[in-house]
A and B are shown apart, each in its own frame.
Chain A
């Protein structure tokens, strides 16, 4: 058996919004639900799950719409580009504050150029059309990790106002 060492490039891009000073590591992570994403019908399932958890935490209607929309976009990227993956919705607690954490992860082809993926594509500037810059605007914080050939993990969270 030939042992080949793949030349992996690991890129990491974190974009934090100053409005949400609590770092994820500082927060306690509570219960979670995991929705497997394999088909377009799972997209609806995932956003219903996220909305229900957000409503339970007392997020207001505007925030719930943003949470549900963010889940929809993450799940759709999984279906389109990786075929399968999962959406994790988790409760966050920090000093009496509550928040919701979303993770969209897959073992798909990964994103070769993260800075290109984070370029706003809805204008004329290009970007990969993954809608990630838009998704970032829906939530308080955004973190993406992607390794070509290994997969992508997008983490977003939002604190209750």
Chain B
């Protein structure tokens, strides 16, 4: 299942549409990292609102994605982690250290504007 990645000015917005298998998640990560270069993007928003599970693999892949994108010179923000998903992640001991998070798309855009100083 492919995740649509939209270009919005200097940013890329990727909204995950349904539960992703591990291979899909890895493919998504690689596609996003590649597109950051192609579109010379300064920031990336990954919307995970529809995900009802963020297990160890998903968390690690998003953390890797964020690191890889930072190495490409852009910032990442994960938006839309649902409260029950956040609770399960904490119980499981999963962390998204060093990864930007925001409540929703709007907050995510504000986060990127602050991080990249675009819109100053």
Contacts and interface: CB of A to CB of B under 8 A. Distances in A.
A44 B25 CA distance: 12
A64 B93 contact: no
Contacts of A135: 92
A61 B84 contact: yes
A109 interface: no
Residue of A48, A69, A137 with most chain B CB atoms under a 10 A cut-off = A69
B50 to A, nearest CB: 13
A138 B21 contact: no
Contacts of A68: 52-53, 88
B87 A65 contact: yes
Given A40-B22, A43-B22, A61-B84, A66 B91 contact: yes
Interface residues of A, number: 26
Contacts of B107: none
12 contacts: A44-B19, A65-B53, A66-B91, A72-B57, A73-B55, A73-B56, A120-B93, A122-B95, A134-B92, A134-B93, A135-B92, A138-B88
Interface residues on B, range: 20 to 34
Contacts of A43: 21-22
B84 A134 contact: no
Given A122-B93, A137-B92, A72 B55 contact: yes
B92 A62 contact: no
B51 to A, nearest CB: 10
A51 interface: yes
B68 interface: no
Interface of B: 19-23, 52-57, 82-85, 87-89, 91-95
B102 to A, nearest CB: 20
A138 B91 contact: yes
Nearest to A63: B84
Contacts of B93: 120, 122-123, 131, 133-134, 137
A47 interface: yes
A153 B52 CA distance: 25
B94 A72 contact: no
Contacts of B57: 72, 76
Interface in A127-152: 131, 133-135, 137-138
